[in-house]
Structure 1
């Protein structure tokens, strides 16, 4: 069984973040890439994971990103959360 390394990272985009999905069809695991002027982050399921585990990871990632979008939409549309009223 391969060793797994855990990490805790923060990615704070500035004015021009770049997000891209690198897709390789059936040749290899896709890679989600987040880049900014001073940092980059790649996200993918390790190739040692089975295809079912990779799909599960991708769906969990999608659910988390969807929740993040919902939270940002709430934050940016709530009139009581303007900088003047914090």
Structure 2
């Protein structure tokens, strides 16, 4: 607060506190879906990395194979329906 601003009354301070608390609750509520998605992403990444398929791939080829899997959707050819 600067010298040219009046001091806040107790009522104004209470309103500011309620507004801040409401804002924090809204922010937490908005971040909850993203947090759930991050948890799910970690679960899926763990399932992919530890899948039994990787024990069948030679250690020298694992990086290239995982990279190919990661970019597989970019190379798929659309097939006509029917």
TM-score (norm: length of structure 1): 0.34
From the two aligned structures, give the one with the greater helix fraction.
2
- Normalized per residue, the structure richer in strand is 1
Q: Return the TM-score normalized by structure 2.
A: 0.36
- Work out which of the two has the higher radius of gyration on C-alpha atoms and give 1 or 2: 2
